[in-house]
């Protein structure tokens, strides 16, 4: 299954692969023809794997925050969140490489209180200032049990488009499709200080399934 955000790119890539493969057949040097065809197939495979959208089995629980994305935990620390809460929060950041699934999923069920897009730079996603300087979206979801959770989709050096489906006032379901980030990037979570973190630095997590924190 492929994500809807990739349908246009997949179609264009497939069309180009077919056209260039047919043109390559007219080249009189067989090894060059084969080299071109193999390269085209590899490009198509990379595009298909990037936009894959595997089904995830979310065990919904209002006491838990699940990982919004696939990737590796690169930050666990207490920080000052300056955009929405304007107070100290626990930040957990998950870095996604280009080979990870890039679907973003809602970390908790509840009501969307805040959703805002920020244009910005394209620093590498693990840069300390990426969270505040890069192109990003900030979303806050609240439920009665856990409270408010802020997650931030952040573009990386390769990511040039962030897709965010969250709209203020909308009721959302934990683990459901919240958006997509095209190419390498990261997601930051900002959680209450008394939350119990269930992951460790450098741990690999799976979006929609891995528990990040709980009350």
Number of H helices and E strands in the chain, helices first, is 3, 14
Cα–Cα nearest to 20, from 1, 4, 44: 44
- Three-class secondary structure of residue 18 per DSSP: helix
Rounded Cα gap, residues 214 and 5, in angstroms? 31
Is 185 catalytic? The answer is yes
Q: Following CA atoms 58, 149, 76, 93 in sequence, which dihedral angle do they give, to the nearest 10 degrees?
A: 70
Q: Could you tell me if 64 and 214 are in contact, meaning their C-beta atoms sit under 8 angstroms apart?
A: yes
* Active-site amino acid positions: 185
């Amino acid at each position: 299954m492929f994500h809807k955000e990739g349908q246009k790119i997949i179609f264009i890539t497939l069309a180009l692969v077919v056209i260039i493969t047919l043109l390559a057949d007219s080249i009189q040097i067989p090894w060059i023809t084969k080299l071109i065809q193999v390269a085209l197939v590899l490009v198509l495979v990379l595009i298909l794997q990037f936009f894959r959208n595997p089904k995830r089995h979310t065990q919904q629980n209002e006491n838990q925050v699940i990982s919004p994305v696939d990737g590796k935990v690169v930050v666990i620390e207490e920080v000052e969140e300056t955009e929405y809460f304007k107070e100290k929060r626990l930040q957990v950041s998950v870095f996604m490489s280009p080979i990870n699934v890039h679907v973003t999923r809602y970390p908790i069920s509840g009501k969307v209180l805040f959703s805002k897009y920020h244009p910005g730079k394209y620093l590498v996603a693990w840069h300390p200032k990426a969270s505040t300087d890069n192109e990003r979206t900030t979303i806050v979801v609240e439920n009665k049990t856990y409270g408010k959770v802020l997650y931030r989709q952040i573009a990386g050096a390769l990511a040039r488009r962030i897709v965010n489906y969250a709209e203020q006032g909308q009721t959302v379901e934990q683990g459901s499709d919240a958006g997509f980030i095209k190419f390498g990037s990261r997601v930051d979570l900002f959680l209450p200080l008394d939350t119990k973190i269930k992951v460790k630095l450098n741990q690999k997590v799976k979006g929609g399934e891995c528990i990040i924190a709980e009350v």
